[in-house]
Amino acid sequence: MSSFTPGPWRWFDLQPRNHWAGIAVVARDPDAREHERDIATLPKGSEANARLIAAAPDLLAIARLYVSECTNCSGVRDVPCDYCEHIWAAIDRAEGRP
Ligand SMILES: [Zn+2]
């Protein structure tokens, strides 16, 4: 399984720099071979989806911080916790666990 490109991610409208009307989500290239690495390309009018995709690394980091600071389970995955159950489900989805 591959790991995701570290944030921050940003989005921008491809026009007027390109002929294709759409939106790009990019991240700084962690290997510094290129200035930025493509994350996603979306059709024009998908600004809301682009914002959500670009925020994903930050949201995942906040979710992990929240569960780590939980006073009920202390971020221990195997401890049943009503506060963190849904957050762990979202983290699992983001990290590709069923
Ligand atoms: Zn918890």
In the chain, what are the domain boundaries? Answer: 9-94
Question: pLDDT tier at 79 (50, 70, 90 boundaries)?
Answer: very high
Confidence band (pLDDT; 50, 70, 90) for 15? confident
> What rounded mean pLDDT belongs to the chain?
91
Tell me what pLDDT residue 48 has. Answer: 97
Token pair for residue 54?
């670009």
Q: Cβ(91)–Cβ(67) under 8 Å?
A: yes
pLDDT over 80 (residue 78): yes
pLDDT for the residue 19: 75
Structure tokens at 65: 């911080």
Q: Which residues make up the environment of ion ligand 1, defined by Cβ < 5 Å?
A: 70, 72-73, 81, 83-84
Q: Ligand 1 mean position to 82 CA, how many Å?
A: 7
- Measured CA to CA, the distance from residue 42 to residue 49 in angstroms comes to 8
pLDDT band at 94 (very low <50, low <70, confident <90, very high): very high
